[in-house]
């Protein structure tokens, strides 16, 4: 299968290792990955902040980029950005009165999958240890990000994949379904409420005793990781893709609290 990678702006600029790991996993399954060059961002920061006018060119760019390449499905290592592509893009176009863009955005959205959704529903990954050689001998707790959980209804897909990783011990996160408090510009506009939500999330993560908090969205993980780092907790954050890409021969190192010592092995 030919798979177009939507890296998402935050992974592209801040956490390239999650996109590299996504490529590694997909290639290991024998698929061809392409990277549409014109891509930039899904625009949800603009939409969610009420800047619909400013979101239009961002959406138009995404649609153009993912029309310019020939592929079977597109994938992003983010539930939130995929939800934006699927649900917000047609709405932004509609609000701008651009029926043509709405139609094209809907078509791109239909072909776009969140990583765990693609792996489980389309590529038939049921046993990451067996099919991908996934190996990660650490204690891990898992935060299901809100948009993946509620907008994409990912259910058990991400946690299920983690459970199938050899050596990984998955520890239940108390109050897992509670938002971490990120919410894009919410974290600066309502910084105090956001910090209070984060404090409860990090306390729950630390109560598990896990050495890693995993998730499927680097936006939330940046927020949670930023709190864990400030608290000098010693708990690291890692993307699901990085854990799936880790193998016995070339394990992903558990990063320090600031999240920078990881070594990602591709191919």
Q: Show contacts with another protein in window 79-98 (CB under 8 A).
A: 91, 95
Spatial distance between the Cα atoms of 154 and 76, rounded to a whole number of angstroms:
14
In whole angstroms, the minimum distance from the beta carbon of 126 to another protein comes to 28
Q: Which of residues 100-159 bind another protein (CB under 8 A)?
A: 146-147, 150-151
* Least gap, CB of 116 to another protein (angstroms): 18
Local structure of 114: helix, strand or coil: strand
For another protein, the closer CB: 179 or 212: 179
Q: Where are the beta strands (DSSP E) in the chain?
A: 2-5, 32-34, 73-76, 112-114, 139-142, 169-171, 212-215, 236-239
Q: How far is the CB of 156 from another protein (least distance, A)?
A: 17
Select from 24, 34, 26 the least CA-distant residue to 245: 24
Instruction: Show contacts with another protein in window 152-191 (CB under 8 A).
Output: 177-179, 181-191
Which of residues 128 and 181 has its CB atom nearest to another protein in the complex?
181
Min dist CB 196 to another protein, Å, is 5
* Residue 181 · residue 193 · CB < 8 Å: yes
From the list 37, 97, 100, 249, which residue makes contact with another protein (rule: CB under 8 A)?
37
Question: Min. distance of Cβ 32 from another protein in angstroms?
Answer: 12
Between 108 and 197, CB nearer to another protein:
197
Phi, psi dihedrals of residue 33, rounded to the nearest 5°: -110, 135
Residue among 8 and 246 whose Cβ is closer to another protein: 8
Among 13, 137, 174, 234, interactor with another protein by CB under 8 A: 13
Q: Count residues binding another protein (CB under 8 A).
A: 74
Q: Report the residue number, 84 or 246, with the smaller CB distance to another protein.
A: 84
Cα–Cα dist 63/86, whole Å = 11
Output the CA–CA distances (angstroms, integers) from residue 154 to 14, 75, 151, in the order listed: 25, 14, 8
- Cβ proximity of 76 and 115 under 8 Å: yes
Least distance from C-beta 254 to another protein, angstroms?
A: 15
Interaction residues for another protein, span 46-65 (CB under 8 A): 46-55, 57-58, 60-61, 65
Chain residues 196-255 in contact with another protein, contact rule CB under 8 A:
196-199, 222-223, 225-227, 229-230
Give me the least distance between CB of 167 and another protein, in Å please: 26
Reported as half-sphere exposure (CB side, CA atoms, 13 A), residue 68 has a value of 13
| Dihedral sign, Cα of residue 226, residue 227, residue 229, residue 235 | negative
Separation CA 84–CA 71 (nearest Å):
20
Q: Residue 237: which of 246, 247, 227 has the closest Cα?
A: 227
| Beta bridge partners of residue 34, listed in sequence order | 4
Pick between residue 62 and residue 165 the one whose CB is nearest to another protein.
62
Which stretch in 43-51, 107-115, 136-144, 242-250 sits in contact with another protein by CB under 8 A?
43-51
């Amino acid at each position: 299968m030919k798979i177009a990678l939507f890296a998402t702006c935050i992974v592209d600029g801040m956490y390239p290792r999650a996109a590299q790991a996504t490529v590694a996993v997909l290639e290991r399954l024998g698929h061809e990955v392409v990277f549409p060059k014109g891509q930039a961002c899904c625009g949800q920061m603009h939409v969610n902040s009420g800047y619909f006018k400013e979101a239009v060119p961002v959406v138009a760019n995404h649609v153009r980029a993912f029309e310019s390449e020939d592929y079977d499905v597109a994938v992003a290592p983010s539930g939130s950005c995929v939800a934006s592509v699927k649900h917000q893009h047609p709405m932004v176009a509609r609000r701008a009165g651009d029926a043509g863009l709405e139609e094209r955005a809907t078509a791109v959205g239909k072909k776009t999958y969140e990583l765990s959704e693609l792996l489980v529903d389309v590529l038939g990954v049921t046993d990451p240890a067996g099919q991908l050689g996934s190996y990660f001998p650490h204690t891990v707790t898992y935060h299901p990000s809100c948009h993946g959980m509620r907008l994409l209804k990912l259910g058990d897909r991400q946690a299920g994949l983690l459970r199938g990783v050899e050596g990984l011990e998955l520890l239940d996160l108390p109050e897992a379904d509670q938002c971490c408090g990120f919410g894009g510009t919410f974290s600066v506009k309502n910084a105090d409420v956001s910090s209070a939500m984060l404090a409860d999330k990090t306390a729950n993560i630390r109560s598990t005793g896990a050495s890693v908090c995993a998730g499927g969205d680097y936006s939330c993980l940046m927020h949670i990781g930023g709190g864990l780092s400030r608290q000098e907790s010693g708990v690291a954050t890692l993307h699901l893709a990085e854990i799936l890409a880790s193998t016995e021969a070339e394990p992903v190192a558990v990063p320090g609290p600031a999240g920078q010592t990881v070594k990602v092995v591709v191919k």
